[in-house]
Chain A
């Protein structure tokens, strides 16, 4: 379970261009569920996702993961959490151009010092599960939009992260691919994973497999729907 208490986030604090991205967020994200953060652009969805995923620290407030306070941990612990607990699918997928699909999927495992053959086998397994095994050696820039998204999901899961974080994953995809994404997410939940997605795409927050929808506006939660 992830809990946020009175979380605020300021950017450019104390400067003329200070932005209050989040204002007093209180939120509980259930384990083994699909939670969608929805809201218009600039509502604070991505900032909230960054805080949950330990990519940034709140300006004030507390964030805890399974009862353990994580918002005050040193950077090395946060890195460890990012490696082992969270898997990320970025809005633009952010695969490293010039590398093959397989190399991209193996990237999060590089700092872990695991056996190369094991990591490779695991990466191939992930790609196979997402119907991408045949494209493992292709450069990522040669993939279609849907394939790129699935490669990003495979990369997010290579370290067997129990929590998958996805930021606007269907922003540039057509309806068929968006539905495919929902199927994948439902499958991940069935495997026991927690999925947190930001989206202002009704195909996502209106989908059947979604357990909770949190609505954000101007850095505040304006609604929660189960």
Chain B
């Protein structure tokens, strides 16, 4: 074992000296490699952080959402649905919700308008609480500014912005407008006793599927969406977007692997001669391959660390500027937020395997071929 460790140490020493000899060439290789790792890592970090953020936000959401469907589309739901859902065993808390979308012709943006649950968040009459994206989209600072919104009938309604949400919750609140119930019904023309949907909490979350099944029989015209469905939908959206970037990054990775194989198979005359010398003075094929594995390992580890650290800074300190449109979605109101760093061992291991293995594998075969050459070739 000690002999093996000493041998590895000597090989590593030699490899470092060999890398230092071709400094310019190797630095260029590490730089290109690091860019590829940066792309892959950014996509992974960004999507994982978004997934974790959305899962955390939805953790407190009600277990079941009940929607009334008319012609396959969601319609307003009557208050009697609240009583029907509340009558199901295991359901503890049922409420009607008022929310909808408002298309702002001035800037072409869609706002989400809601009546909040939390009494402390309910704005005073003719006041609204808005997400940070809305004043930005309208081009004013919120303090003291009125917000004019156009009703269905075409007349403008004036609201006072009482406060805005901070950027820490921007992922969920950037386009949000909170109103009190009376203003909401008045603005959208919704009669009392009707809601957008109904939400329910259950005593035992394990029973959600059973409750939904029972409710489905009792109210066949309703659709029941569980919290897990919503989480899954978010995950799928982010998975799809991550997949899009991963496909691009994968293509870059493949191109890089081809480049690495090309580089290794076209060993320079100097490198080939060096392998011949090493074999002639007593190194065997295994020693040469070990040395080249050290070389590949150091190059790919260096590039991996450089690419991964840069991607970390890019995603968590600079908001993932380069890939944000793909991963957050395209919108007029575009959330500005800082993602909380979320990286786990599995993610890093996957990234390391995804980026280092193709390079090492691509270089190994040509090196093996060169290392298998007869040592007497160097004599002639």
Q: Is A27 an interface residue (CB 8 A)?
A: no
Known pairs A103-B17, A113-B6; A56 contacts B374 (CB<8 A): yes
The answer to whether A108 and B282 touch across the interface, beta carbons within 8 angstroms, is yes
Instruction: Say which one of B97-105, B240-248, B272-280, B351-359 lies at the interface with A.
Output: B272-280
Known pairs A76-B284, A113-B4, A159-B282; A55 contacts B274 (CB<8 A): no
Complex Cα spacing A222 to B328, Å: 85
Q: Is B7 an interface residue (CB 8 A)?
A: yes
The answer to whether B14 and A110 touch across the interface, beta carbons within 8 angstroms, is yes
A135-170 residues with Cβ-Cβ distance < 8 A to B are: 155-156, 159, 167
Residue in B2, B5, B20, B280 whose CB lies within 8 Å of A94: B280
The answer to whether B375 and A55 touch across the interface, beta carbons within 8 angstroms, is yes
Complex Cα spacing A94 to B272, Å: 12
Complex Cα spacing A107 to B283, Å: 9
Complex Cα spacing A164 to B212, Å: 87
A103-146 residues with Cβ-Cβ distance < 8 A to B are: 103, 106-116, 119
Complex Cα spacing A90 to B377, Å: 12
The answer to whether A55 and B280 touch across the interface, beta carbons within 8 angstroms, is yes
Closest-by-CB residue of B relative to A158 is B281
Q: Is B70 an interface residue (CB 8 A)?
A: no
Complex Cα spacing A212 to B17, Å: 41
B1-17 residues with Cβ-Cβ distance < 8 A to A are: 2-7, 9-11, 13-14, 17
The answer to whether A110 and B7 touch across the interface, beta carbons within 8 angstroms, is yes
Complex Cα spacing A166 to B287, Å: 24
Q: Is A88 an interface residue (CB 8 A)?
A: yes
The answer to whether B277 and A96 touch across the interface, beta carbons within 8 angstroms, is yes
Chain B residues with Cβ under 8 A from A47's Cβ?
376, 380
Complex Cα spacing A112 to B281, Å: 12
Q: Is A98 an interface residue (CB 8 A)?
A: yes
Interface size on A, residues (CB 8 A): 37
The answer to whether A50 and B284 touch across the interface, beta carbons within 8 angstroms, is no
The answer to whether B280 and A109 touch across the interface, beta carbons within 8 angstroms, is no
B356-380 residues with Cβ-Cβ distance < 8 A to A are: 374-376, 378-380
B375 to chain A, nearest CB (A): 5
Q: Is A99 an interface residue (CB 8 A)?
A: yes
Q: Is A46 an interface residue (CB 8 A)?
A: yes
Q: CB-CB contacts of B187-202 with A at 8 A, as 1s and 0s?
A: 0000000000000000
Say whether chain A's binding surface is mostly helix, strand, loop, or mixed.
Answer: helix
Complex Cα spacing A165 to B273, Å: 19
Q: Is B21 an interface residue (CB 8 A)?
A: yes
B5 to chain A, nearest CB (A): 8
Known pairs A50-B379, A108-B282, A113-B7; A99 contacts B21 (CB<8 A): yes
The answer to whether B4 and A155 touch across the interface, beta carbons within 8 angstroms, is no
Chain B residues with Cβ under 8 A from A159's Cβ?
282
B146 to chain A, nearest CB (A): 73
Complex Cα spacing A82 to B278, Å: 11
Closest-by-CB residue of A relative to B374 is A56
Chain A residues with Cβ under 8 A from B7's Cβ?
110-113
Closest-by-CB residue of B relative to A107 is B281
B293 to chain A, nearest CB (A): 14
Q: CB-CB contacts of B1-42 with A at 8 A, as 1s and 0s?
A: 011111101110110011011100000000000000000000
Q: Is B118 an interface residue (CB 8 A)?
A: no
Listed in ascending order, the chain B residues whose CB lies under 8 Å from chain A are 2-7, 9-11, 13-14, 17-18, 20-22, 270, 273-274, 277-278, 280-285, 287, 374-376, 378-380
Provide 6 A-B residue pairs closer than 8 Å at the C-beta atoms, listed in order of the A residue.
Answer: A47-B380, A88-B280, A99-B21, A107-B281, A111-B10, A159-B282
Further 8 A-B residue pairs, CB within 8 A, beyond A79-B284, A111-B287, A112-B3: A46-B379, A46-B380, A47-B380, A50-B376, A56-B374, A75-B285, A111-B284, A114-B6
